[in-house]
Amino acid sequence: MESQHLLAKPAPVVSEAKAKQAKKTKASLNIILFTVFIGSAMYTIVLPSMPAYITQVHAQAYVLGWLVSAFSAGQFFLSPALGMWFNARNALEPLLFSGALLVLGNVLYSIAWSKWWLVVSRVIIGMGAANVSVCRAYAAAVTPVDKRTGVLSLIAAAQGVGFVVGPAMGAALASVNYKIKVGGSLYPDGEYRINNATAPGWLSVVLCLINLLVLALFFTDMSRVPLPMAKRGGEVYDTIDDDDTDVPAKIPNRPTTPTTPVPDPLPLHLIPARKSCAGVDKTLDLVAICLAMAIFFCIISCFGCFETTLSKLLKANYSWGTAKAGILFMSCGVISIFAFLTIKPLGNVIGDRLVLVVGLGIMIGTGLLCIAYNGGHVPLVQFLVANCIFSIGYPYSSAIIYALFSKILGGTDQGTMMGLLTSCGSAARTLGPLAAGYGYYYGGTNTVYIVIGGLAALALVLTLAGWSKLVTYDVLLDRKLAKYRSSRRLVIQSA
């Protein structure tokens, strides 16, 4: 009777609590997706109007590069700090703080009267945009390891939607032109202009304020909520076990005498609770982490080269104007959204690592297709096809490396490490465009796509060389434990 009692299903109230927790988690993830979408749309809303803004403040053309790099620099420096904040406290606080920075930065951007104010505002906006590291860390923290690929792919898809919607919203403001008398000498004739250059900034302010309100009013941080527990017959039961059934797993609330041999003691650096002063779990495989970061850097550098030079190449080689280039960008964004949505089912069939290989192979193919082997430039149709398939390869590569990185971290605190990964991407978004710009200036179109193909090839080599490292945390830890115990037995036998 007692054994039957212990195996009885938990009280209905526990199942109800489990359902409520799952519902709240899903709602919080939807808000995270909305936050990522707003951040992506905000970034792309202002891109088409930046050249006009630079002209309006009488700055040189090269300041455009400063503004792009300033954004990445701000994101680079603040991402790890926000990640550590999330680990130490919760997700809501860094999200609200970064949201406030986005509002402040966009206000400064919209009222800027010199190139220096534009640069400062872009740095602040980049710091606020570091919230994407918290978003990814939160999504990983509340999602089981086997489901993280799908969730992180949705986050990447939300970014893709933002990249599509942002330019469209910016284009809708092209005809805006209002003048407000403010006096003084900051603005020409004492008039502040709300036009195609400044209106996108104000729209970004509105979007960021909406996001702040949604976070403050509706977001519930589920990363700190423990699993529902039930107490029956003097014992404590965890009602959510590995196979997600309703059979409780017994957790004694008092010490018991072990009936199985105690395993060999583990060295300090393999004890899961052992952490460094920075809060990083010492059981993490640093080689695997650095490998994933290096692959990620190459992938994001490829994208930085692509987005920086595409408009220039279309204009120089095919006489395409801004409108046509914008349509191509939006088309590539739509393709990438569908690519993001296919990542999870494809990963279930062939595995995450093979999806990464496929994505990198496509990116290498883009580079090869866009190289004019006989001089000049490739036919327009070939160029367009190559860039459209890049919109498949990049989502596959970037989303999967995020998922693999999260799985390498396992169940440990994700904030700090996701912040470092975001900083790595920001550095790539800074250096990649510089490499593409100088490559195009000195070597033309071929050099740009040699750089893109070469970086993708390097990422593929790293992937294949570190194939055994790109696995989950549990697998990596089991290998460490097996290696330690094997060496321990050898020492005992030799003694």
What CATH number is attached to the domain comprising 110? 1.20.1250.20
- On the question of pLDDT at 459 being above 90, the answer is yes
The rounded percent of the chain whose pLDDT value lies above 70 is 80
- On the question of pLDDT at 248 being above 50, the answer is no
The rounded percent of the chain whose pLDDT value lies above 90 is 27
Of 176 and 204, the one with more pLDDT: 204
Buried b (16+ CB within 10 A) or exposed e, 75-89: bbebbbbbbbbbbee
Question: Could you tell me if 187 and 330 lie in one domain?
Answer: no
Structural domain includes residue 249: no
Domain end point (choices 192, 222, 252): 222
**Model pLDDT for residues 250-300, shown as the tens digit of each residue:** 333 334 444 444 444 444 444 444 444 344 455 678 889 999 999 999 999
pLDDT at residue 102, rounded to an integer: 95
Structural domain includes residue 1: no
Sort 433 into a burial class: Cβ within 10 Å, 0-12 / 13-18 / 19+. Answer: buried
Yes or no: say if 420 and 80 are a contact pair by the CB < 8 Å rule. yes
Structural domain includes residue 167: yes
- On the question of pLDDT at 461 being above 70, the answer is yes
**Model pLDDT for residues 403-451, shown as the tens digit of each residue:** 899 888 876 667 788 888 888 888 888 787 777 777 777 888 888 899 9
Residues 6+ apart with CB under 8 A from 113: 57, 186, 187
How would you classify the pairing of strands 235-238 and 249-251?
antiparallel
Structural domain includes residue 311: yes
Structural domain includes residue 463: yes
Question: Could you tell me if 214 and 289 lie in one domain?
Answer: no
Question: Could you tell me if 283 and 201 lie in one domain?
Answer: no
- On the question of pLDDT at 75 being above 80, the answer is yes
pLDDT at residue 432, rounded to an integer: 78
Structural domain includes residue 261: no
**Model pLDDT for residues 375-401, shown as the tens digit of each residue:** 778 999 999 999 889 999 998 999 899
Structural domain includes residue 151: yes
Sheet holding 229-232, edge to edge: 229-232, 235-238, 249-251
Question: Could you tell me if 175 and 293 lie in one domain?
Answer: no
286: phi then psi, degrees, rounded to nearest 5: -65, -30
How many structural domains are present in the chain?
A: 2
Question: Could you tell me if 353 and 440 lie in one domain?
Answer: yes
Of 12 and 455, the one with more pLDDT: 455
pLDDT at residue 362, rounded to an integer: 95
Question: Could you tell me if 209 and 284 lie in one domain?
Answer: no
**CA neighbor of 397 nearest in space, from 443, 343, 437, 446:** 343
Yes or no: say if 116 and 66 are a contact pair by the CB < 8 Å rule. no
Question: Could you tell me if 282 and 207 lie in one domain?
Answer: no
pLDDT at residue 114, rounded to an integer: 85
Question: Could you tell me if 192 and 283 lie in one domain?
Answer: no
Yes or no: say if 150 and 127 are a contact pair by the CB < 8 Å rule. no
pLDDT at residue 184, rounded to an integer: 65
| Average pLDDT score over the chain | 79
Report the alpha-carbon distance of residue 67 to residue 116 in Å, rounded: 10
Tokens 């196979």, residue? 243
Residues 6+ apart with CB under 8 A from 12: none
pLDDT at residue 148, rounded to an integer: 81
pLDDT at residue 175, rounded to an integer: 80
Q: Which of 79-83, 314-318, 441-445 has the highest mean pLDDT?
A: 79-83
Q: Which of 110-114, 146-150, 277-281, 292-296 has the highest mean pLDDT?
A: 292-296
- On the question of pLDDT at 458 being above 90, the answer is yes
- On the question of pLDDT at 94 being above 70, the answer is yes
Q: Which of 34-38, 236-240, 320-324, 411-415 has the highest mean pLDDT?
A: 34-38
Question: Could you tell me if 285 and 207 lie in one domain?
Answer: no
Poorest-confidence range of 172-181, 209-218, 254-263, 324-333?
254-263
Yes or no: say if 130 and 429 are a contact pair by the CB < 8 Å rule. no
Q: Which domain holds residue 383?
A: 276-495
Question: Could you tell me if 85 and 205 lie in one domain?
Answer: yes
Which band of pLDDT confidence, cut at 50, 70 and 90, is reported for residue 456?
A: very high
pLDDT at residue 283, rounded to an integer: 66
Structural domain includes residue 5: no
**Model pLDDT for residues 8-67, shown as the tens digit of each residue:** 445 455 577 778 888 888 899 999 999 999 988 888 888 777 877 888 888 876 777 778
Query: Is the Cα torsion angle 208, 209, 211, 216 positive or negative in sign?
Result: positive
Poorest-confidence range of 47-61, 137-151, 201-215?
47-61
**Across residues 472-476, what is the average pLDDT?**
78
Question: Could you tell me if 215 and 281 lie in one domain?
Answer: no
Contacts 24+ apart (CB under 8 A), 458-464: 458/298, 459/294, 459/295, 459/298, 459/299, 459/302, 459/360, 459/397, 460/357, 460/360, 460/361, 460/364, 462/291, 462/294, 462/295, 462/298, 463/295, 463/353, 463/356, 463/357, 463/360, 464/357
Report the alpha-carbon distance of residue 183 to residue 189 in Å, rounded: 8
- On the question of pLDDT at 316 being above 90, the answer is no
Cα 433 to its chain centre, rounded Å, is 19
- On the question of pLDDT at 159 being above 90, the answer is no
- On the question of pLDDT at 112 being above 60, the answer is yes
pLDDT at residue 185, rounded to an integer: 64
pLDDT at residue 238, rounded to an integer: 38
Instruction: Report how far apart the first and last C-alpha atoms of the chain are (Å, whole number).
Output: 51
Which band of pLDDT confidence, cut at 50, 70 and 90, is reported for residue 219?
A: very high
Question: Could you tell me if 216 and 281 lie in one domain?
Answer: no
